[in-house]
Amino acid sequence: MTEIDPLFKEMMNDLAGFLDQMFNGDLRGGDRKNAFVLLVMPFNGPPGARTNYISNAKRESIIEMMEEVVARFKKTGGIDTP
């Protein structure tokens, strides 16, 4: 498994802890009710530029989550960006 880009590692770990606390309170492990994934990528990066991610769920669950989101975006035309 590839590590998060060192420029983002501490910040993303801190955000993951904050998000897990916000979504799940003091629940841990299998008692948690909500999974999340945080993706960070450079704007205007070259094609194939690294996307960093962190999550409180297992990789297999993240793959399922992403496949569902991609299918929804393709069906609805995606989302508007600011």
pLDDT (0 to 100) of residue 65: 92
**Is the pLDDT assigned to residue 59 strictly greater than 60?**
yes
The yes-or-no verdict on residue 79 having pLDDT over 80 is no
Determine the Cα–Cα distance for residues 56 and 64; give it in Å rounded to an integer: 14
pLDDT digits (tens, 9 = 90+) for 32-51: 999 999 999 888 888 777 88
Spell out the domain ranges in the chain: 9-76
- Rounded to whole angstroms, the Cα distance separating 41 from 4 reads 11
Residue type at 34 in one-letter notation: N
pTM score: 0.75
Strand pairing class (37-40; 52-55): antiparallel
